[in-house]
Structures are given as structure tokens and as C-alpha cells.
Homo-oligomer: A and B are copies of this chain.
Amino acid sequence: MTQTKNILIGQSGGPTAVINSSLAGAIEAAKRTEKIGHVYGMLNGIKGYLEGRKTDLLALSEEELSLLKTTPAAYLGSCRFKLPKDMEDPLYEEIFRRLEEDEIGYVLYIGGNDSMDTADKLSAYGAKVDSDIRFIGIPKTIDNDLVGTDHTPGFGSAAKFVAAQVRQIVLDAEVYQQDAVTIVEIMGRNAGWLTASACLARKYEGDNPVMIYLPEVDFEPEEMLRQIRRRLKERSALVICVSEGIHDQDGTLVCEMSQSVAKDVFGNKQMAGCGKVLEQLIRLRLGIKVRSVELNVTQRASAVEASLTDVEEAFECGRQGVLAALEGKTGCMISMERISNDPYQLAYTAKPVGEISNEVRAVPTEWITEDLADVTEAYKTYALPLIQGESRPPMQDGLPVFLYRDLSKSKQN
């Protein structure tokens, strides 16, 4: 006789376009086995679960599940919450008490670095108290900076959005006959994977964006100015893409370079992005027209232009998470291994999450060109399969339809 246990799924960390697709994949797999009874979702991650907030995911209809797959952000809500290092902390006892109460046999936690840390600690505590609850981490981050996996769900869609937007920003920037620089600031504080995707925007060799700066190497403002001067001899409109995390050789972030003196009318420090700082530098030093564009949260929230490959892989990661838990694995993260690039093929495995959490995977420096202002063909070969295919949410009245919870009176409930 099969013992039926319930499954609990949580989402954590920053939203992406496909974190809900992983949730949909997990629900789908959980529904197909008799070993799993209830399918619960933590509301606002482990933090919300500790407040007793959970939802019944089996209540979602087939149509709603299909919508969930193409809905961006985090349907269950998210949290930024790190579990204590001390395994004696009463929080662990409290969590496990609730898990026992809800008859949970399997916990899936979808997220980035901190979330993998959560999965790691919970499984460690589980081992300590001899619990048979299985804990599996499902990777998610547009930053693509988790070790132990070829790439992370969420990255492909963000990269596709960035590349398409940069291609369009380039066309926009080139309409006037005038020396001008457009800076595009792209997310990624510690790793330049997403910023590097701007190279995919080029339509021909030598096309804009003419320079791409990643946080993996030191940024030299004077060298950038030299490059701009040189390139302005050949074309009028330059587009330069920079990661929010670029820094000089002393480790000072470019975005921090102006905050020391800039104060606004309210007496606050002006929190400018590095794009704004470079905009001002170029204007002052070169006296030409400059503007900066910060893609901001749109690059992680745009399901309308998501990568179908990414949506499908995120779904499969969720599904594989359930299968791994059913097989008895715990303390693991679902990992994608690229078996072949042409044709593009993946294998899904489960890797010990302790080896993954709290590490940052950077763009290999051999993928950065010698002048430190571009990426090589190797990056393009790596990234191109990940942005293939169009995932289109259903449209109604001209706008995308998403699955959502009505939060208008959330504080009164």
C-alpha cells in the first residue's frame, strides 16, 4: 500500500517571467501520482508559511493552470528570508511542527541562491531530527548565477527580452544624424550573464551595441571614453550596455560614484544607477548628447516576450522536482546539464544543494574580449538556444491575461 503524503511548494526571491511555470510543472506532476494527496502552496514563501498562510493548489482549474504557466512574477507571493545558521534555533522546530501537522511529505522551494540555502538548511535539520520529509530546490533567477547547472530558468526569457529591447533601442537611437551615446543599464550585480545577452541584439558585424561592460572585470572610465571617441569617427549613434554591478579596480561600484555628494531637495542621497553616472561623465567629458535607459523590473517581469524554451524548461524543472522527491531524494536542486548544443539537448539531474547555495557563477573571463568591452562568440553560442521560441500568454481586449490573486483588501482578510 502506497503511503499518501501532501506536498508543499513555495516561491522565494525576486520574480521572473517563468517561476510560475515551474510551479505549474510541479502541480502537474503532483496531480499525476497517487503518492501525493494535497498540493499546498506557501503564501509568501517560508515566512508566510510560518504565519500559517497557505493555499490549496488543487483548487486551480485546468484553464487556470495553463494561465499560470505564462504568468510572470510569483503567483504564491515571495519573501526574502534567510533561515538561521543555528540548527538549535526554535524556528526549525516550529517549521517541522507545522509540516507534520499538514502531513507534508515533500517540500519544493523555487528560487535563487537564498532559496537554495533554505532548502539546504531544512534538509539538514530534517536529517538531524530523522524526518522523512524530502526537500528539493528548483532553480530560478534571471541572473543565471547559480553554480551546478548549465543555466537557470528565468534567464532565457530575460535575455530574450533584453536582446529584443536593445535591438529596438538601437533603431531608436540611430534616427538622428548627431553624435550621441545611449547607455542601457541591465540587471546583474555580481554576474554579467544578462548584460552580455545584449550582444544578441546585433544585426550585423560592427552593429550597436558597440560596447558591453560586465561586472566580472574592472571597469575603467577613461578607457570607455577613449573607445567612444574612437568609435564616433565611424558612426554617430553609439549604444553601450552596462551591468548595474560594474565597478572600478578598487571595487567601487560605478553607481556609488555619484552618491557621496548628490543630494536632492529633500536632503536625501541621490540613488543613481550606473547608467546615470556614466551619462553624466560622458556629457561632461565629451560634450555630446547622452541619455541612459534603465530596463529595470521590466526585464524580469515580461512574460509577453518570454522564451518558449525557458517556459518549457522551467515547467520541466518543477516536474522533475516532484519526481526527485518521490524517488526519495532530499537536499538536492534540480540541475540542467547541456548534453549537446547542436541540436540543443538537456538532461535533468538532482545535485546536492549544499554545493550550490551561497556560490556565484560568473561569466568565464575567457568569454570576455581583451579590451574588456564585449563578449566573444562563445557566449553567443551558449546563450542563443536559451532564447528560442515565443511564449505568448493569451490575449484579451488587447492585453495579456494572467492568473492572479485579488490583493485589494488583503490587509483586511
Q: Hey, which bits of chain A sit against chain B, CB under 8 A?
A: 11, 15, 44, 47-48, 71-74, 77-80, 160, 163-165, 167-169, 171-177, 200-201, 203-207, 233-237, 257-258, 260-268, 270, 272, 276-277, 280-281, 283-284, 291, 293-298, 300-305, 307, 384, 387-390, 395, 397-400, 402, 404, 406-412
Q: Which of B172, B201, B397, B407 contacts A72 (CB 8 A)?
A: B172
Q: Which residues of B contact A258 (CB under 8 A)?
A: 264-266, 270
Complex CA distance for A305 and B392, rounded to whole angstroms:
11
Q: Which of B177, B293, B397 contacts A44 (CB 8 A)?
A: B177
Q: Which of B73, B168, B237, B281 contacts A304 (CB 8 A)?
A: B168
- Contact A297 B293, beta carbon cutoff 8 Å: yes
Smallest CB separation, A188 vs chain B (Å): 17
> Which residue of chain B lies nearest to A179 when distances are taken between CB atoms in the complex?
B411
Smallest CB separation, A76 vs chain B (Å): 9
- Contact B399 A387, beta carbon cutoff 8 Å: yes
Q: Which of B44, B72, B174, B283 contacts A73 (CB 8 A)?
A: B174
If over half of A's interface residues share one DSSP class (helix, strand or loop), that class is named, otherwise mixed; here it is loop
Q: Which of B80, B268, B283 contacts A176 (CB 8 A)?
A: B80
- Contact A171 B301, beta carbon cutoff 8 Å: yes
Q: Which residues of B contact A203 (CB under 8 A)?
A: 402, 404
Copies in the complex: 2
Q: Which of B169, B205, B267, B268 contacts A298 (CB 8 A)?
A: B169
Complex CA distance for A21 and B197, rounded to whole angstroms:
29
Complex CA distance for A147 and B175, rounded to whole angstroms:
25
Quick one: given A177-B44, A307-B398, are A264 and B268 in contact (CB under 8 Å)? no
Quick one: given A404-B203, A409-B234, are A48 and B293 in contact (CB under 8 Å)? no
Complex CA distance for A390 and B389, rounded to whole angstroms:
17
Q: List 30 A-B contacts (CB under 8 A).
A: A44-B175, A47-B177, A72-B171, A78-B175, A160-B399, A165-B298, A167-B400, A168-B298, A168-B301, A171-B301, A172-B300, A173-B297, A200-B399, A204-B408, A235-B410, A235-B411, A257-B265, A258-B270, A261-B264, A262-B264, A264-B272, A264-B280, A268-B283, A268-B284, A270-B272, A270-B280, A293-B296, A294-B294, A305-B305, A390-B395
Q: Which residues of B contact A270 (CB under 8 A)?
A: 258, 262, 264, 270, 272, 276, 280
Q: Which of B164, B174, B260 contacts A399 (CB 8 A)?
A: B164
